[in-house]
Amino acid sequence: MQPLAERLRPKTLDDYIGQKHLVGEGAVLRRAIESGNIPSIILWGPPGVGKTTLAGIIANTLDRPFHALSAINSGVKDIRETILKAQKNRFFTAANPILFIDEIHRFSKSQQDSLLGAVEKGIVTLVGATTENPSFEVISALLSRSQVYVLEHLTKEDLMQLIDEALVKDEYLKLKNVEVKEYEAMLTFCGGDARKLYNILELVCNFADKEEKLIITNELVKSLLQQNIAMYDKGGEQHYDVISAFIKSIRGSDPNGAVYWLARMVEGGEDVKFICRRMMISASEDIGLANPNALLMATTCFQAVQAVGLPEARIILSQTAIYLATSPKSNSAYLAIGNAQRLVRETGGLPVPLPLRNAPTKLMKSLDYGKEYKYAHDIKNNFVDLEFLPEEISKSKFYEPSENLAEEKIRQRLKSMWDGKYGY
């Protein structure tokens, strides 16, 4: 017998639950599907929110052949064979087949390269699914030829609707005498993953007796599932919760918390590159100029764990996590770029001051490009009092040193140079 999630997989957009911002009435992806002309797309979102289902609905709605590959067990040979099959089975003006790649972020560069020709020539319309940021995991050439749609976590109401409809629509569950009195435990244990929710519901309902009514309570669900819950699920809600706890422990200067959450991820089989990327971000966002070596440490860690691999890489990860957690903290660089971006959005493309402009031609020089620019290294102390901002926003201050030893030195140096202008 098929799992409940497969038995109830919707075939139309009207039966699809969740993602109203994409497939609700008048939403962008729904309009594209109903127009019958969709580009290659990447569906990015957490596990169990309907990426695979949506790919099938697209093919079903457009009445196109559907070919599916999983990046976990498919190689370049499988990709080429599938593309060749799609090409052979396409007749005259028939629409492009849909090629669905599940977990496309797991494809290597060469595997993704093997898709390019078919996508460019229109042999297939690619629908890729990923739980990771495609900007990091999908090659730029493929990304530029695809439209990225972000799928959101299913809401509590979405998940409850899935449960209620399963009990009345599924050919097996509707024969059982089941009443849901409490939903919370099922929603907690599934972590927002609809597939897991269906598995939990089916497991619980297996204890239903035709003669006796089964009332689903939080206590019942906990008693049946508690012993079977994995310590860490790298593909589910905990993937996001545990990395959040890890980064917040680093930000909070608690090396013990950082190492504990790191251990949870390592034991759970988390991708070490994902952990390293988050530490690189934290090194700049949370530590920054209070200890500039933190970014060097995190970057070196990223390179080292790829060279060494697990299990020894766990030591390098631990060393780096402890170093970051025990470093002084500053988010001044994070705030500075945010402040500058806000002003750019408000003021638009203000002209570059003439002294700062490049003057490679005589015409540009005749227009005073570069005039009155002074080379700082020709001046005492390598400093020149020059206006480096557009006139309209002169004296705007974006960077404010934080209160730590390293940035206090920066503050004093800036004050000696710019006190009359920026007020350091």
Q: What is the rounded distance in angstroms from the CA atom of residue 189 to the CA atom of residue 224?
A: 11
Residues 132 and 177 in one domain: no
Segment (H or E) for 260:
helix 255-267
Tokens of 362: 């005589």
Query: Is it the case that residue 55 has pLDDT exceeding 90?
Result: yes
How far from 42 is each of 29, 100, 129, 420, CA to CA, in Å? 12, 10, 6, 52
Q: What is the rounded distance in angstroms from the CA atom of residue 274 to the CA atom of residue 270?
A: 8
> What pLDDT score was predicted for residue 236?
52
Comparing CA positions, the residue from 87, 94, 93, 51 lying closest to residue 67 is 87
Question: Is residue 337 a part of any domain in this protein?
Answer: no
Model confidence over 132-179: pLDDT tens digits?
888 878 888 899 999 999 999 899 999 999 999 999 999 988 888 889
Between helices 237-251 and 272-282, what is the axis angle to 10°? Answer: 40
Segment (H or E) for 342:
helix 332-347
Residues 27 and 141 in one domain: yes
Residue holding tokens 């079977």?
228
Residues 33 and 54 in one domain: yes
Average pLDDT value for residue range 281-303 = 94
Question: Is residue 274 a part of any domain in this protein?
Answer: yes
How far from 416 is each of 227, 297, 420, CA to CA, in Å? 64, 31, 9
CATH code at 289?
1.20.272.10
CATH code at 63?
3.40.50.300
Contact 268, 287 (CB under 8 A): no
Residues 49 and 83 in one domain: yes
Average pLDDT value for residue range 212-234 = 72
Residues 186 and 73 in one domain: no
Residue holding tokens 């730029």?
140
For strands 214-216 and 178-180, give the pairing. Answer: parallel
- The structural domain count of the chain equals 4
User: What percent of the chain stands above pLDDT 70?
Assistant: 94
Q: How many CB atoms lie within 10 A of CB 417?
A: 14
CATH code at 200?
1.10.8.60
Residues 131 and 162 in one domain: no
Query: Is it the case that residue 89 has pLDDT exceeding 80?
Result: no
> What pLDDT score was predicted for residue 233?
52
Q: What is the rounded distance in angstroms from the CA atom of residue 125 to the CA atom of residue 122?
A: 7
Calculate the CA dihedral of residues 396, 400, 406, 408 and round it to 10 degrees. Answer: 90
Question: Is residue 245 a part of any domain in this protein?
Answer: yes
Which of 175, 210, 228 is the last residue in one of the domains? Answer: 228
User: What percent of the chain stands above pLDDT 90?
Assistant: 36
Average pLDDT value for residue range 393-412 = 87
Q: What is the mean pLDDT of the chain?
A: 86
Residues 146 and 161 in one domain: no
Q: How far apart are the first and last CA of the chain?
A: 71
Which of 326, 346, 369 is the last residue in one of the domains? Answer: 326
Residue, of 154 and 110, whose pLDDT is higher: 154
- Buried b / exposed e across 334-367, counting CB within 10 Å, b at 16+? ebbeeeeeeeeeeeeeeeebeeeeebeeeeeeee
How far from 373 is each of 89, 324, 368, 380, 418, CA to CA, in Å? 66, 41, 10, 16, 18
CA 243 distance to own-chain centroid: 12
CA 223 distance to own-chain centroid: 34
Which of 126, 150, 174 is the last residue in one of the domains? Answer: 150
How far from 30 is each of 19, 54, 127, 137, 386, CA to CA, in Å? 10, 11, 15, 26, 54
Question: Is residue 6 a part of any domain in this protein?
Answer: no
Residue, of 212 and 67, whose pLDDT is higher: 67
Residue, of 246 and 111, whose pLDDT is higher: 246
Model confidence over 224-262: pLDDT tens digits?
876 554 444 555 556 677 888 899 999 998 989 899 999
Contact 424, 418 (CB under 8 A): yes
Residues 146 and 23 in one domain: yes
Residues 39 and 132 in one domain: yes
Residue holding tokens 């570059």?
352
> What pLDDT score was predicted for residue 232?
45
Its domain, for residue 414, covers 356-422
Model confidence over 314-331: pLDDT tens digits?
999 999 999 999 999 999
Residues 73 and 133 in one domain: yes
Average pLDDT value for residue range 73-99 = 78
Q: Which amino acid is at 407?
A: E
Residues 130 and 205 in one domain: no
Average pLDDT value for residue range 98-107 = 88
